[in-house]
Structure 1
Amino acid sequence: MTESGEARVAAVLARLSGLGDVPVGEHVAVFEEVLSGLEATLASVGDASPAQGDGRP
């Protein structure tokens, strides 16, 4: 799998590495879980405090 450069994204995408061990009937649930995790990560991008960002308000 390609590195994303973002630890939170990598952690969510790591869930896909075990997909081969999951019955096909459960794949949709795994994909939905991954999508939800990616959406949550994306939504939190703007939540960083100025101390963590570039110092601008």
Structure 2
Amino acid sequence: MTESGEARVAAALARLGGLGELPVREHVPVFEEVLSGLEATLASMDDTSPARGDGAS
């Protein structure tokens, strides 16, 4: 597994790593939790990203 450089992403990946210890019926809530966390992380990165000076939006 590669390092993401972002603690919240690493925590989400670690949460997925524990799926093998759970019954399959409990996987979906974990997937939903991880997805929600990753979406929040991406959204917060968009909110705090410095303005790009290359004309890209």
TM over 0.5: yes
Cα deviation code 1:6-44 (max 9, x no counterpart)? 111111211011101110011111111110000000010
**Corresponding residue for 2:4?**
4
Please, what TM-score do these two structures have when normalized by structure 2? Answer: 0.73
Structure 2 unaligned spans of 5+? 52-57
Output the amino acid matched with 2:25: G
Structure 1 unaligned spans of 5+? none
Task: Count the aligned residue pairs.
Answer: 51
Please, what TM-score do these two structures have when normalized by structure 1? Answer: 0.73
